[in-house]
Amino acid sequence: MSSLAIKYDDRAVDVSFTQTAVHFVLADGREISAPLEWFPKLRDASEADRKNWRFIGNGIGVHWPTIDEDIAVKTLMHGND
């Protein structure tokens, strides 16, 4: 019997939104999301401002410059503590 070694890579490679959530796709294929209620600046932002993002630290987070918002992947993975 062989086992498959899973290699986790927590860096974000894409970001998208629904009406109620922000979604990150990670480099290892996982997808994570969180309610926009956790991030009032993003919740209240225009669609253009939401689409205006860039990666921080090679994907460890995402920055929205026009609304001055940052989200680390770990925040989505561990909750908004």
**69-72 vs 61-64, strand pairing mode:** antiparallel
- DSSP code of 2? -
Q: Domain spans of the chain?
A: 12-78
35 bridge partner residues: 21
pLDDT reported for residue 75: 86
pTM: predicted TM-score of the whole model, two decimal places: 0.85
Tell me: pLDDT of 9 over 90: yes
**CATH fold for the domain made of 12-78:** NE0471 N-terminal domain-like (3.30.2020)
| Span 14-47, pLDDT tens digits | 999 999 999 999 999 999 999 999 999 999 999 9
Six-digit token string for 67: 């609304």
Tell me: pLDDT of 57 over 80: yes
Give 78's contacts (C-beta < 8 A, 6+ positions apart): none
